[in-house]
């Protein structure tokens, strides 16, 4: 855990991670996803606490190799196996939409970390991160897209595409601001916070769940 950082900031983010897990569990309505996510979150928490991600001379960065890449491979497997596609199609679309509300506290925490020079300035709302739009509009989309016992698929699809592009924007920006041989910008103020617990759970847990929620919703909407 980071030194000299008020406990309430780490606590707020930890609660946000828990809320993300619970909302995804509610969307899945089975224990299978939870039985995968809880051990994964526990493993990533241990790696963050142990200082494993704070070694920044390796290529690719450990946080990308051991925190992000396994989740991307898992999502690919889900979409390319019969059982995986069945699980994706069973997710509750409305709950998946509400899930993106967690991006509001995430952005608030990022703004604080940028202010304390623990993240690149590009990661805040004052930089190139406009992901707050996704969090603020999630309740609106969940309300407008599910009315009169109907699902307004075009509206929901457009919203998911826009928010997915915003997610890609911040993820790519973040990747090249991590202190490592692949760093391309923000050399005077890199993304240090994501190398420490609990903030390493952002790229390793929260972002993959948000990404999966978008992709699962878009798959359901195109069927």
pLDDT digits 0-9 by tens, 158-205: 999 999 999 999 999 999 999 988 878 877 899 999 999 999 999 999
What angle (nearest 5°) sits at the alpha carbon of residue 220, between those of residues 210 and 148? 100
Statement: residue 212 has pLDDT above 90: yes
Predicted local distance difference test score (pLDDT) of residue 28: 87
Residue 223: the pLDDT is 80
* Model confidence, pTM: 0.94
Q: What is the pLDDT of residues 50-75, one digit of tens each?
A: 999 999 888 889 999 999 999 999 99
Going by pLDDT thresholds of 50, 70 and 90, the confidence category of residue 125 is confident
Q: For residue 190, report the phi and psi dihedrals to the nearest 5 degrees.
A: -80, 180
Measure the CA–CA gap between 80 and 63, rounded to whole angstroms. Answer: 25
- Taking the C-alpha atoms of residue 63 and residue 46, their distance in angstroms, rounded to an integer, is 13
According to the model, what pLDDT value does residue 1 have?
Answer: 64
Residues 42 and 109: their CA atoms lie apart, in Å, by: 21
Residue 85: is its pLDDT beyond 90? Answer: yes
Q: Which residues of 12-23 are buried (b: 16+ CB within 10 A; e: fewer)?
A: bbeebbeebbeb
Write the secondary structure of the chain as one string of H (helix), E (strand) and C (coil). CCCCCCHHHHHHHHHHHHHHHHHHHHHHCCCHHHHHHHHHHHHHHHHHHHCHHHCCCCCCCHHHHHHHHHHHHHHHHHHCCHHHHHHHHCCCHHHHHHHHHHHHHHHHHHHHHHHCCCCCHHHCCCCCCCCHHHHHHHHHHHHHCEECCEECHHHHHHHHHHHHHHHHHHHHHHHCCCCCCCCCCCCCCCCCHHHCCCCCHHHHHHHHHHHHHHHHHHHHHHC
- Return the pLDDT at 3: 63
In the block, tokens 């202190």 appear at: 179
Domain ranges of the chain: 7-222
Positive/negative CA dihedral, 26, 38, 10, 164: negative
């Amino acid at each position: 855990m980071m030194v000299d950082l008020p406990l309430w900031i780490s606590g707020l983010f930890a609660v946000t991670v828990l809320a993300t897990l619970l909302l995804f569990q509610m969307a899945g309505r089975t224990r299978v996803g939870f039985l995968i996510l809880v051990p994964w979150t526990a493993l990533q928490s241990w790696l963050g606490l142990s200082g494993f991600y704070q070694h920044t001379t390796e290529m690719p960065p450990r946080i990308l190799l051991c925190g992000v890449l396994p989740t991307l491979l898992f999502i690919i497997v889900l979409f390319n196996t019969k059982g995986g596609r069945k699980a994706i199609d069973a997710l509750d679309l409305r709950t998946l939409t509400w899930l993106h509300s967690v991006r509001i506290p995430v952005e608030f925490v990022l703004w604080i970390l940028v202010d304390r020079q623990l993240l690149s300035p590009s990661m805040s709302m004052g930089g190139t991160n406009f992901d707050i739009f996704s969090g603020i509009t999630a309740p609106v989309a969940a309300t407008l897209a599910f009315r009169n016992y109907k699902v307004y698929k075009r509206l929901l699809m457009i919203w998911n595409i826009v928010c997915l592009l915003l997610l890609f924007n911040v993820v790519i920006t973040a990747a090249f601001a991590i202190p490592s041989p692949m760093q391309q910008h923000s050399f005077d103020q890199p993304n240090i916070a994501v190398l420490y617990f609990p903030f390493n759970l952002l790229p390793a847990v929260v972002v993959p769940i948000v990404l999966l929620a978008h992709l699962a919703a878009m798959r359901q909407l195109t069927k």
